[in-house]
Amino acid sequence: MRPLFRKLLMLIHFVLDVSITICSLGFYSPGWHFNLDDIFKAFHFAHYSYWTSPLDYVVLCLLRQVSLLIAIIIIRRGKSKKLRSWMLIYDILGILGYMVAVVKLLAFDETGTMMSYPGIYMSTGSAVFLTFSLPFAIRYTLLIKETEEVGYERLQSESRENTNVENGSTPANGTASASESNTENKEEDDAVTKEEKEKRLPLSKHLWQIMKLCGKQWKWFTAAYSLLLIDCILNLVEPALYSQMMSTAIQMKSFDVLKRACLILAIVQFSEATCNTVRYICMQYAERLTARNIRVGLFKAILHQDISFFDENKTGQLMSRITHDSESISNSLPVYIETTTNNLFMLFGSAPIMFYCSWQLSVSTFITFPITLLMTKYYGLIVEKLSEKENDATAVSNETVEEVLSAIRTVRSFAAEKMEYMRYTRNTDAWFKISIKSVVLGTFYNYFWATMWNIEDVVVYLYGGYLTLQGRMAPESLLTYVFYHWRLHAALNVSYFSLVFLQLAFSSLFSDVMKTIGSSRKVIHIMNRIPELDYEVGTETPEVVGNIIFEDVEFAYPTRKTANVLNGINLSIEPGKTVALVGPSGNGKSTLVSLIQQFYSPQSGRILLDGTPIQQIDHHHYHTKIALVAQEPTLFSGTIRENILYGIEDGTDDDMMRVSEMANVHEFVSKMEKGYDTKCGEKGVQMSGGQKQRIAIARALIRNPRVLILDEATSALDAESESMVQEALNRCAKERTVLVIAHRLSTVRSADRIAVIEKGNVTEMGNHDDLMKNQDGLYYKLVHKQLNSLGTKKDEEDEKPIVDFF
Ligand SMILES: Nc1ncnc2c1ncn2[C@@H]1O[C@H](COP(=O)(O)OP(=O)(O)OP(=O)(O)O)[C@@H](O)[C@H]1O
């Protein structure tokens, strides 16, 4: 908003306020006649009486102008941030002003004659409107630029922080590495949260997304909400019907009328109960179906993500999103809508009837409403933050459980049970503290809410009784009023969330649904997240011979973007050949394999399979042609059969037997009681390391791949198994391209070509004999070094020579 326009708006507010307040004083006589004398009369301080003088409205107007002036001065002194934090005072002043105006109206009513003065309504109306609108005017005119600036600054500093983290740069004064790594870990922990905050959808769009998720079950929700409407109507007519019939029966002194009245009442109540039951079933069905769909959708979205996403987000946290967060969307939002509809209906249905019974009583009853509104708004803001924190804390606790349980053997062997217990306790304590804050806050809020209603109750009985005793309200009207007041109380007091409608009606902050929004943001963020590397874009299904080419490939892991692992690597792996990658640890051998597997995409350069860039090849087709046996193969908890046939829809037992023989699996499976139906246990925990690796080799071979990648595939095998598997692999290698990463000379020396990977580059290339000729080369030094240590090993163990480069 332009400064000039803002100034103009404030000026309009000022001029309107002063002119309406003063002009309305000219109408303080019966009929619509402007009388200048009335204005002067109002300023006769000597004749001031609270019950008759409109001077209080002028004082209110003065106070408004003073507070506006203070706000302008604060802003001009450049302390707008401070003003933002003081806005609560303006809100409270606004509400107090409103209450003073309303009480003043009731005071005028006490005179009996003054209510025919149009000026009274003008003064009250303008005082209520202008007092209320002042905090809004300050917020949305004077403070709006400030908001943008703060947001911009925050984004700037966040992006600066991000850049620092990405660059791996330390703060200017260089803090200790421990704290650095703590910060790094925390940032990794909060990866989704951070990314999600950066790409945070505006509230309206976000709500629309939630609606869309729930809206798929619109038929069930429509049925539920239709029944809700019927229920609301019945709820609304019931008190009027009841009080009407009761008073008629009492007036007529007729028991028959009373019986008829009770029968009608019973029918209404039975209909209400039936509606409620059917509505509950529809609602529950729709909610659970929505939860199911969100879970499935979220799981699909997670499966679709690139591998770097999993580097950044921990399993436990993702589990939390699927189990807890996705359910809270389906559970909460439809219920909020239901409660809100009910409340709105009750409020807007009851209010006219209550005003009809007595406008004075209604005005006094609703006098505390703005206070409740204000409390709800601030309560909502805190709840949103607490709820996000609570969800994150839950996710961190879950993540600890997941991590510890999946590595329980490591924990046991390092006697780290106590340490892990303490870690979990710490994380759970963090959750506990936040959730207790939430509970305390909620309890206080409920207490406040109940107190407000209790005050209103007292006002209704006292003031209602007073009006009735004065003959200004009929006893039946008071009875009807009390019934509606109770109903309204019951409806609005279902829970503090029910107050959400107030926020919908009066504020852009939908704070009370923030609990849902807090959790749903993460769910929706993941569901909308477009993977940087989409495995489904490739469509080509070429015949594969098995020629892999790396062309100037540069790569850094997304989590460490500035630390290049591969520096413009060029490598050609010819079809049908076995190529071994050797080199010092941490120099990029496994990274090369990850790129061939399309876990990541290079920052620059290309990887070609038979001349086709690999990302253009259909995902399924590609992975039937290229199979990997990883360093630490992961088995699934199913049977050995299921593990070998994993991902093969039409695999037969014959296929399985064939590859099992080749990978030397059959040899140990045939000795097992349940054979191929033996369960492997979680992550293959019921298998030995060698058995796991042989099953993994069989799993790769069953695809009959053109390219077989062995990332230290035989490292866990004993000497005997290794030679058997090696022999099998050699047989397979005849028809295939084999890329092998090995630390053992026995595996490496038989390769057709050996590529030495050093600092992300190919520094030497050739077969064993070629490379041994270069005595300055790394390969020669490695072999020489290892052959020396081999002598020692041989002496010590007198075993088959196993030469590890490292
Ligand atoms: N997921 C990852 N995220 C970030 N950095 C990684 C990741 N995986 C590996 N790195 C880093 O990349 C570098 C190369 O790792 P890589 O696993 O390719 O080495 P390697 O040559 O296969 O080592 P080794 O022989 O010990 O298996 C290392 O510095 C490692 O810390």
Which letter does DSSP use for residue 141 in this model? I
Question: Bigger pLDDT: 744 or 193?
Answer: 744
Mutate to test the pocket of ligand 1, among 555, 564, 587, 744 (most ligand atoms within 8 A of CB): 587
Please name the residue whose Cα sits nearest to atom 11 of ligand 1. 586
Residue 385: C-alpha distances to residues 332, 380, 518, 624, 717 (Å): 17, 9, 8, 48, 53
Ligand 1 centroid to 565 CA: how many Å? 8
What's the CA gap between 482 and 460, in Å, rounded?
Answer: 8
Contact 135, 87 (CB under 8 A): yes
Give the residue among 438, 490, 456 at the shortest CA–CA distance from 371: 456
664 lines ligand 1 (CB under 6 A): no
Q: What is the largest CA-CA distance in the chain?
A: 122
Predicted-complex ipTM score: 0.96
Please name the residue whose Cα sits nearest to atom 24 of ligand 1. 585
Please name the residue whose Cα sits nearest to atom 1 of ligand 1. 311
Q: Which CATH superfamily is domain 548-791 in?
A: P-loop containing nucleotide triphosphate hydrolases (3.40.50.300)
What's the CA gap between 425 and 419, in Å, rounded?
Answer: 10
Using only C-alpha atoms, what is the Rg of the chain?
38
Ligand 1 centroid to 594 CA: how many Å? 10
Mutate to test the pocket of ligand 1, among 561, 591, 595, 712 (most ligand atoms within 8 A of CB): 591
311 lines ligand 1 (CB under 6 A): yes
Give the residue among 296, 132, 292 at the shortest CA–CA distance from 220: 292
Lowest mean pLDDT among 267-281, 486-500, 791-805: 791-805
Ligand 1 closest atom vs CA 581: 21
498 lines ligand 1 (CB under 6 A): no
What's the CA gap between 493 and 633, in Å, rounded?
Answer: 57
Lowest mean pLDDT among 218-222, 326-330, 505-509: 505-509
Ligand 1 closest atom vs CA 591: 18
Please name the residue whose Cα sits nearest to atom 7 of ligand 1. 557
347 lines ligand 1 (CB under 6 A): no
Q: What pLDDT score does 554 carry?
A: 92
Q: What pLDDT score does 140 carry?
A: 77
168 lines ligand 1 (CB under 6 A): no
Query: In the chain, pLDDT over 90 holds for what percent of residues?
Result: 3
For the segment 342-369, the average pLDDT, to the nearest whole number, is: 83
Ligand 1 closest atom vs CA 308: 1
Ligand 1 centroid to 310 CA: how many Å? 16
Per-residue HEC secondary structure of 387-451 comes to HHHHHHHHHHHHHHHHHHHHCHHHHHHCCCHHHHHHHHHHHHHHHHHHHHHHHHHHHHHHHHHHH
> What dihedral angle (degrees, nearest 10) is formed by the CA atoms of 281, 285, 290, 296?
160
According to DSSP, the residues that pair with 555 across neighbouring strands are 566
Question: Do the domains spanning 217-358+473-528 and 548-791 agree at the CATH topology level?
Answer: no
User: pLDDT class for 177, splitting at 50, 70, 90?
Assistant: very low
According to DSSP, the residues that pair with 548 across neighbouring strands are 573, 609
Question: What DSSP string describes 208-221?
Answer: HHHHHHHHTTHHHH
What's the CA gap between 426 and 372, in Å, rounded?
Answer: 37
73 class by beta-carbon count within 10 Å (0-12 exposed, 13-18 middle, 19+ buried): exposed
Tokens of 564: 């290049």
588 lines ligand 1 (CB under 6 A): yes
pLDDT tens digits, residue range 226-244?
Answer: 888 888 888 888 877 777 7
**Hunting for tokens 């436990």 — which residue is that?**
316
For the segment 559-576, the average pLDDT, to the nearest whole number, is: 87
pLDDT tens digits, residue range 432-447?
Answer: 998 888 888 888 887 8
Please name the residue whose Cα sits nearest to atom 13 of ligand 1. 586
560 lines ligand 1 (CB under 6 A): yes
> What DSSP element (H or E) covers 565?
strand 564-573
Question: What DSSP string describes 226-263?
Answer: HHHHHHHHHHHHHHHHHHHHHHHHHHHT-HHHHHHHHH
Ligand 1 closest atom vs CA 311: 1
715 lines ligand 1 (CB under 6 A): no
Tokens of 343: 């409340």
Please name the residue whose Cα sits nearest to atom 30 of ligand 1. 586
First to last CA, the chain: 66
Q: Where are the alpha helices (DSSP H) in 734-799?
A: 745-749, 768-773, 778-797
Ligand 1 closest atom vs CA 307: 1
Q: Is the pLDDT of residue 453 over 80?
A: no
Q: What pLDDT score does 36 carry?
A: 84
Q: What pLDDT score does 278 carry?
A: 92
591 lines ligand 1 (CB under 6 A): yes
What's the CA gap between 663 and 696, in Å, rounded?
Answer: 9
User: pLDDT class for 721, splitting at 50, 70, 90?
Assistant: low
Ligand 1 closest atom vs CA 593: 18
What's the CA gap between 696 and 644, in Å, rounded?
Answer: 7
Ligand 1 closest atom vs CA 583: 21
Ligand 1 closest atom vs CA 712: 27
For the segment 579-593, the average pLDDT, to the nearest whole number, is: 88
Ligand 1 closest atom vs CA 594: 18
Question: Bigger pLDDT: 312 or 60?
Answer: 60
Ligand 1 centroid to 545 CA: how many Å? 29
308 lines ligand 1 (CB under 6 A): no
Domain locations along the chain: 3-158, 217-358+473-528, 548-791
What's the CA gap between 311 and 297, in Å, rounded?
Answer: 21
Ligand 1 closest atom vs CA 757: 21
Contact 361, 460 (CB under 8 A): yes
- The one-letter amino acid code at 343 reads N
Contact 669, 675 (CB under 8 A): yes
Q: Is the pLDDT of residue 174 over 80?
A: no
Lowest mean pLDDT among 210-224, 402-416, 650-664: 402-416
559 lines ligand 1 (CB under 6 A): yes
**Hunting for tokens 């029918």 — which residue is that?**
267
Q: What pLDDT score does 409 carry?
A: 63
Q: Where are the alpha helices (DSSP H) in 253-314?
A: 255-304, 307-312
**CATH 1.20.1560.10 corresponds to the domain 217-358+473-528:** yes
Q: Is the pLDDT of residue 146 over 50?
A: no
User: pLDDT class for 800, splitting at 50, 70, 90?
Assistant: very low
Residue 542: C-alpha distances to residues 101, 614, 684, 711 (Å): 81, 11, 35, 25
Q: Is 72 left (phi over 0), alpha (psi -120 to 50) or beta?
A: alpha
**Hunting for tokens 């996403």 — which residue is that?**
309
CA angle, corner 43, sides to 38 and 45, nearest 5? Answer: 130
Ligand 1 centroid to 606 CA: how many Å? 20
638 class by beta-carbon count within 10 Å (0-12 exposed, 13-18 middle, 19+ buried): middle
331 lines ligand 1 (CB under 6 A): no
CA 246 to chain centroid, in Å, comes to 53
Give the residue among 154, 14, 11 at the shortest CA–CA distance from 81: 154
Please name the residue whose Cα sits nearest to atom 10 of ligand 1. 557
pLDDT tens digits, residue range 701-715?
Answer: 888 888 988 887 766
Q: What pLDDT score does 752 carry?
A: 87
85 lines ligand 1 (CB under 6 A): no
CA 792 to chain centroid, in Å, comes to 59
Contact 572, 547 (CB under 8 A): yes
Q: What pLDDT score does 687 carry?
A: 81
> What DSSP element (H or E) covers 581?
strand 578-582
Give the residue among 411, 388, 242 at the shortest CA–CA distance from 320: 388
Number of H helices, E strands in the chain: 32, 10
Contacts of 426 (CB under 8 A, 6+ apart): none
Contact 197, 159 (CB under 8 A): no
CB atoms within 10 A of CB 475: 11
- The one-letter amino acid code at 313 reads N
Contact 165, 187 (CB under 8 A): yes
Please name the residue whose Cα sits nearest to atom 3 of ligand 1. 557
594 lines ligand 1 (CB under 6 A): no
User: pLDDT class for 32, splitting at 50, 70, 90?
Assistant: confident
Please name the residue whose Cα sits nearest to atom 2 of ligand 1. 557
User: pLDDT class for 312, splitting at 50, 70, 90?
Assistant: confident
557 lines ligand 1 (CB under 6 A): yes
- Work out whether strand 707-711 and strand 626-629 pair parallel, antiparallel, or are unpaired: parallel
What's the CA gap between 518 and 93, in Å, rounded?
Answer: 31
Tokens of 530: 């477009």
pLDDT tens digits, residue range 76-97?
Answer: 888 878 888 888 888 888 888 8
For all residues of the chain together, what is the average pLDDT? 78
564 class by beta-carbon count within 10 Å (0-12 exposed, 13-18 middle, 19+ buried): middle
